[in-house]
Every structure is written in structure tokens, then in C-alpha cells.
């Protein structure tokens, strides 16, 4: 098992100051998968099993961030249904319109009290200029800006950077499905922690975003085949 290390402290100063390239097409996923096959025998076996994974992308900006918040800890079907109702209630979907909605309206869409607080905090921070969802911002700066919003933790920030900005090297080490997929792919006795998975993922740079897509697809494959 990989040694436990702090997730963010493993980044060099050069990496902290850079902006990752982005995944924009199936061709980018393919290029990353081929590179990972050369970097890691386990990724080669995963790719042999599931092929090229489908690129996951959401719109960037407040709408994309809100969609991730709404879908936290829900099944895909439930998240989609609640998001559809939320998007209808907040039209157009921007910070000003969200902040104008009362609890009854948002709760009727299926939002919990905690998710309403997080969405309002994000909207207020964007409106005040405290949160700028700029795709050209260095990765670590954007991460710190996101987790500085009440209710947004590392998982949400990492998923935003991966799904909404398509960061090629983005990775959500705190994601349960990724941890389980890595455990099965590497045949570990125990599920790796966030720190352990982050250390393990160092071997996949600069294609950790594609490695995440491969592991999510592998996780889904394993669930169906079991």
C-alpha cells in the first residue's frame, strides 16, 4: 500500500503555479489512455478490460459547480431528477436568480438545507467577486478559492476542475468510487485512503484525469459483472 502523505503537500511549486491542459474530446481521452498504458501496467489491464472511457464534461461556471453540489451523495438518477427541477426553478441559472429564490422554492426542487446553504454561499461569493471561476487560474489557486466557500470541500473542488474544466491532470482522491476501483485494480487488501490514492496517482501524471475516467469506468464495469 502506498505510504500515507498529505494530499496537497505533494505538489511541487512548479505544479502549484501552473494551469493544466484540458480534456476536450474522445481523442484526448484516447491519447491519455495510450500514455497511461506505457506508464502503468495496472492501467494497461484496466484499459484492456473497459476500453476508452467516455469523456465526462459539465458546463463551467456557476451552473456547473451547482450541478456538482446538487448531485453529491446521490445516485445518478436521483441527481439528474433533482438537478432538472432545480434548473427549472432557477431560470436563468445565475447567482442573482439563485439568491432570489426562497427556501420553499428550492426545497420543492428536492434540495436539502445543506445544499441550499452551499449554493447560496457560492452564489454570494461569485456576486461579491470573492470567487472567480476562471479556467485560466492556476490549479492550486482555483482549488483554494473553491474550498474557501462554506460547504465546498476538496471533493467538490476536484470534481469541478475535472468535469467542468476538463483538467487533464485533475484527480479526486477523496472519491469513494475511485478508491474502490483502485483497490480492485491493484488487488489491495484494503481500500486506499485519500492520501494513499493521491500518492499512488503520482505515477499517472500528467494524465491523472484520464486515469480517473478509466477507474470510474472500471468501477461501473465491476459493479455490473459482480
Q: Which CATH superfamily is domain 62-164 in?
A: Hypothetical protein; domain 2 (1.10.340.30)
**How far is the C-alpha of 174 from the C-alpha of 94, rounded, in Å?**
28
Q: What fold characterizes domain 8-55+169-225?
A: Endonuclease Iii, domain 2 (1.10.1670)
Could you check whether the bond before residue 92 is cis, i.e. omega within 30 degrees of 0?
yes
**Confidence at residue 8, expressed as pLDDT on a 0 to 100 scale:** 38
Q: What is the mean predicted confidence (pLDDT) over 98-123?
A: 97
| Residue-range domain boundaries for the chain | 8-55+169-225, 62-164
Assign residue 60 a region: left if phi > 0, alpha if psi is -120 to 50, beta otherwise?
beta
Q: What is the pLDDT of residues 49-97, one digit of tens each?
A: 999 999 999 989 999 999 999 999 888 899 999 999 999 999 999 999 9
Mean pLDDT computed over every residue of the chain: 90
**H/E run at residue 88:** helix 76-89
Amino acid at each position: 500500500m502506498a505510504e500515507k502523505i498529505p494530499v496537497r503537500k505533494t505538489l511541487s511549486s512548479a505544479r502549484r503555479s501552473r494551469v493544466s491542459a484540458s480534456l476536450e474530446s474522445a481523442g484526448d481521452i484516447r491519447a491519455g489512455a495510450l500514455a497511461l498504458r506505457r506508464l502503468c501496467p495496472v492501467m494497461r489491464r484496466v484499459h484492456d478490460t473497459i476500453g476508452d472511457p467516455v469523456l465526462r464534461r459539465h458546463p463551467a461556471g456557476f451552473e456547473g459547480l451547482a450541478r456538482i453540489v446538487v448531485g453529491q451523495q446521490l445516485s445518478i438518477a436521483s441527481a439528474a431528477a433533482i438537478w432538472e427541477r432545480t434548473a427549472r426553478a432557477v431560470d436563468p441559472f445565475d447567482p442573482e436568480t439563485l439568491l432570489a429564490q426562497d427556501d420553499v422554492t428550492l426545497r420543492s426542487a428536492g434540495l436539502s438545507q445543506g445544499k441550499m446553504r452551499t449554493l447560496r454561499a457560492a452564489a454570494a461569493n461569485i456576486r461579491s467577486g470573492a470567487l472567480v471561476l476562471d479556467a485560466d487560474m492556476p490549479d492550486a489557486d482555483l482549488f483554494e478559492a473553491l474550498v474557501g466557500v462554506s460547504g465546498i470541500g476538496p471533493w467538490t473542488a476536484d470534481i469541478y476542475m475535472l468535469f467542468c474544466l476538463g483538467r487533464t491532470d485533475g484527480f479526486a482522491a477523496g472519491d469513494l468510487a475511485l478508491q474502490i476501483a483502485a483497490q480492485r485494480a491493484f488487488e489491495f487488501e484494503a481500500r486506499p485512503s485519500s492520501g494513499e490514492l493521491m500518492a499512488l496517482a503520482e505515477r499517472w501524471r500528467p494524465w491523472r484525469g484520464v486515469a480517473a475516467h478509466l477507474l470510474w469506468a472500471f468501477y461501473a464495469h465491476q459493479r455490473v459483472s459482480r
